[in-house]
Amino acid sequence: MAIDLQQIGKRFRFYTHLNEYEMEDLKAITGSDETTLKNILNGCNIVLDELVAIVKHFPDLNSRWLIYGEGSMFKPKDENGNCQDNPKDCLKKDKTAYLQQMKNMLLELDAAEVAKGHHADVDALMSKLNELKAKASE
């Protein structure tokens, strides 16, 4: 299974946008420098050891999804039903504009994921975003 660095960058960017992490947040959470983080977000010059070191700081992020685009973005809930920081519960921005931004990013990911045969995952995410957008505009 080949690793596509640009897709890793797009997926990590999608995850960070969904969680509303800014560069300063990422630097504080990971302890990494801005150049390393920008390289990962842009999908270039990624050193896998650095990526692994950074990913461990996001306990809800499914590393298999990040690297290979397989499965869900978030890890399943634990045995107590707890999930780390549910993004739906902590939206800070205007929900309609924010959900439109997420939809646009999802469309960008869609092209790559459909080509890899993951269309059902993308359709499910798109459906959920449309549902949230409809609720936000009510």
- 106 or 57, which is more confident? 57
CA distance 99 to 57: 25
Query: What pLDDT, on a 0 to 100 scale, did the predictor assign at position 126?
Result: 74
CA distance 3 to 89: 32
CA distance 113 to 94: 28
Query: What pLDDT, on a 0 to 100 scale, did the predictor assign at position 23?
Result: 95
pLDDT (mean) for 6-17: 91
- Highest-confidence range of 35-39, 69-73, 127-131, by mean pLDDT? 35-39
CA distance 6 to 99: 23
**Phi, psi (degrees; rounded to nearest 5) at 38:** -65, -40
Provide CATH code, domain 1-79. Answer: 1.10.260.40
- Collapse the DSSP code of 74 into the 3-class scheme (helix H, G, I; strand E, B; otherwise coil) and give the result: strand
Share of the chain above pLDDT 90, in %: 24
Query: What pLDDT, on a 0 to 100 scale, did the predictor assign at position 107?
Result: 73
